[in-house]
Structure 1
């Protein structure tokens, strides 16, 4: 089967950006893709370093135009599509950074980013209320898939949750433009793949938005940490990798990290303070 990451430049015209994203999904489907990931809040410009009350104009409901396109493409191609939006919740004034997983056109998961930065030019705490649930794993006809969002890749516990819940594929939609983070970006994603025995799909945007220049590096990683496919870093595009999800079980037998865990020794990790 094939896994794909979409790399995309977000313009100020939401409909135009959604159209380009849909064309890339259609292209990926024509190449046999079964699971596809879109970048973080793919259809709109991402937040700038200074909080801006006018930015909320970009928010949309779960059934807004971004997810409507993703859902229809998922149904049309009978594939799994992970979308990502700036969600306006049913409660006035409450917003989330949200990923939605569609399987054959059916909404199977809504995951709201639970770890929010206010650093490196990303004041996300100003805009979003953090989610309250751990990542879940959606069982698809092709295998289990779970999602964490951008900044959450810095927290190894979340990728481990996806592995423990039976995931074979970890999706990481990102909006990454931080120069200091670029040096460790792929290192972190490769590490998630290795210590959890997972395939990892990471989808980033590229190009200049205000004071930020997004660096791309959208890719698919194997459970041995190798880069299986990577999109060009200076244009819209796809990273598509032909994979065998049976490799997940084989890797976990060779490197039985999940078997050898000692959770009884880690109880202090879930405490508010570790002494």
Structure 2
């Protein structure tokens, strides 16, 4: 089967962003992708370094227009689409950075970003309430997949939870703009693939937004850490690669990191101050 990452430039016009996203999702589906990932908060400009109360105007409910695009393309082509939206919760004044997985047009999973930065020009704690649940694994007819969001690639515990849940594919929507971190960004995603024995699909933004320039480099990594497909740093693009859940299973048999875990030694990971 094929998986795809959509690399997108988000301008100030959300409706225009959604139209371009729909076109790129459609391209991916017509090229045979069975799972397609959009970037973090794909339809709106991402947060700037200084907190801005006006930014909340971009928020929308889960059933809003951004997820509608993902749901409709998922239904039309019978594929899985992972969307990412600035969610306005039912409780007034509460917002989340949320990934939604649509399978054949149905909402199959919701994951709210649980680790939020307030550093390096990304004051996300100002805008979002952290999610209170771990990543969930969705099983489709093609593959089992889970999602973590951007900053969470720095936390190996979350990717490990996706693997322990039975996923052979991990989706990572991101908004990464710190050029000096580009090599670290790639290293972390390849490492997640290797030590969890799974495929990783990463979709990033590209282009200039305010003071930030997003470096693209959306990619698909194999369970051996190899780069199967990679976008450039500039320009909107769809990247696709073949993925094989059975290859992920074989990798876990030949490099049995999940088998050789010692959870009895890891209590300190959850202790206060650890």
Same fold (TM over 0.5): yes
Q: Secondary structure at the match of 1:111?
A: strand
How far has the Cα of 1:24 moved from its partner? 0.6
Q: Please, which moves more after superposition, 107-116 or 171-180?
A: 171-180
**1:1-275 correspondence runs (5 A):** 1-274=1-274
Whether contact under 8 Å (1:230, 1:238) holds in the other structure is no
* TM-score normalised according to structure 1 size: 0.99
Q: Give every structure 1 segment of 4 or more consecutive aligned residues whose post-TM-superposition deviation is greater than 2 Å.
A: none
How far has the Cα of 1:183 moved from its partner? 2.5
Whether contact under 8 Å (1:115, 1:151) holds in the other structure is yes
Q: Which structure 2 segments of 5+ residues have no match?
A: none
Q: Please, which moves more after superposition, 234-243 or 209-218?
A: 234-243
Aligned partners of 1:179 and 1:124: how far apart in 2?
19
* TM-score normalised according to structure 2 size: 0.99
Deviation string, structure 1 residues 160-215 (Cα, Å, up to 9, x no partner): 00000000100000000013321301000000000000000000000000000000
Aligned partners of 2:13 and 2:273: how far apart in 1?
45
How far has the Cα of 1:268 moved from its partner? 0.4
Whether contact under 8 Å (1:8, 1:205) holds in the other structure is yes
Task: Give RMSD over aligned pairs.
Answer: 0.6
Whether contact under 8 Å (1:46, 1:175) holds in the other structure is yes
